[in-house]
Every structure is written in structure tokens, then in C-alpha cells.
Amino acid sequence: MKINFSRQNIYLLVMTMFLLVFVLVFSFAVLIPNGKEYRVKRVELKKENIGLKQLSNFSIEKEVILQKLQSDNLHVIKAFGTEFNAQRFEKQHKLFFSSLSIIKMNKAEEEEGFSVYEVNTTSEISSPKSFYNFLDAVNKSDWIIAVNFPINFKRDGEMISSSFTMKVYNNKESNATE
């Protein structure tokens, strides 16, 4: 039995085969690898997005911690940033003493990363209780002040003259700019 293909049918068959091969090659060589890559990238992007969200949440948490810390220590942080002013200190603490004089001395050695100024104080008090009240008030003052040794008390008639040094702590420039 002899099968006769017309020329037109042969053209049709060739064209069909060519297009089919093109579709298959394009699909397997281009589309499927690209599709796989797309899926991988989608997963990767999702992971990156989750990472970004976690980082963002972490940043918010840190900010909350910082704000809480700053609001809890508002007085302390402000006090560390305030430059010591002898006249203002005298004015604020004069009521504890009959007389008070402050002499700001030179900058002392840095302590724990903070700059320290030594201040010499001479005063007269009517009773030790005034000094106790002064020590309470120093902790609430506008500066971070440590009353330092040596402390001298000397009876002077009805009064007690006292002399002592104080250390005033300030932010170092590097801390302040941070």
C-alpha cells in the first residue's frame, strides 16, 4: 500500500513540527528555569522581608528600652550634661548653711569615662543636721556631685565651720555628642 502525501500536507507537517519544537525548546530552555528561579527568589524575598520585620521590631524594642531608660533617669542624664555653676550652686544650697563659699578647682582625672571637676567648699553650719539635709539635697541637685573626703568640722563658738571637697561629674565631649 502506497501512502501519498500531498506537498501541502508535507509543508503543514513540517511547520507543525517546527512550531512544536520551538514551543518545547522555549518552554524547557527558558520558561521553566526562569520559573524555578522566580520561585526561589520569591522564597528568598519572603525570608528577607521576615528578616527586615524582625530587625524593625528589634529596633523598636531598643528604642522603647532607651526611652524608658531616659525617662526613668531624666534627672540624672540632664545633670550629667549640665556644666557646674558655682554661683547657682551657692544660691540653691545657701539655706542649709549660715555661710557658704565655693571655689571651683581644676579638672581632676577622668573617672569611669566621665570628666570630673573638684570643688572646694567652706561653710558654717549651726548643727550637723543642716549638713545631713545638705547631703540629701546634693543628691537632688542639678549636678551629679559626690561629697569627698577629707571633711573637717571645727567648733567656732556656737557655729560649726566645715570644709570639704566635692567632685562634680560631667559628660565627656564624646559622650555628650553621642
Partner 1 sequence: MRYSYIKPRAKTIFTKDIQLLFTFFGVTIFMLFSTYAFLLFRDYRFTQEMQDIKEQKNQLSINISKINKQIAVAQKQSLLAEKIFTKNSVLKDSINNLFDLVPSRITLSEAKIMQNGLILYGITPNKDVYNFMLQAPLRSIFHRTYSSFYPADNGWLRFVSTNYIDEEELSSEN
Q: Which residue type occupies 134?
A: F
Helix (H) or strand (E) holding 53: helix 32-72
Of these, 109, 112, 158, 173, which contacts partner 1 (CB under 8 A)?
112
Q: By CB under 8 A, is residue 56 in contact with partner 1? A: yes
Per the document, the length of the chain is 178
42/91 with CB nearer partner 1 = 42
Q: Contact, 172 vs 115, CB < 8 A?
A: yes
110, three cell numbers: 577622668
# binding residues, partner 1 (CB under 8 A)? 64
Of these, 14, 28, 29, 35, which contacts partner 1 (CB under 8 A)?
35
Sketch the per residue contact string, 14 through 33, with partner 1: x for CB under 8 A, - otherwise. -xx--x--xx--xx--xx--
Cα separation of 28 and 22, whole Å?
10
In the complex, minimum distance from the CB of residue 79 to partner 1, in angstroms, rounded to a whole number: 7
Residue 90, judged by CB atoms within 10 A of its CB (0-12, 13-18, 19+), counts as middle
Cα separation of 31 and 37, whole Å?
10
Contact positions toward partner 1, by CB under 8 A?
8, 12, 15-16, 19, 22-23, 26-27, 30-31, 34-35, 37-38, 41-42, 44-45, 48-49, 51-52, 55-56, 58-59, 62-63, 65-66, 69-70, 72-73, 76-77, 79-80, 112-114, 128, 131-132, 135-136, 138-139, 144-147, 149-155, 169, 171, 175, 178
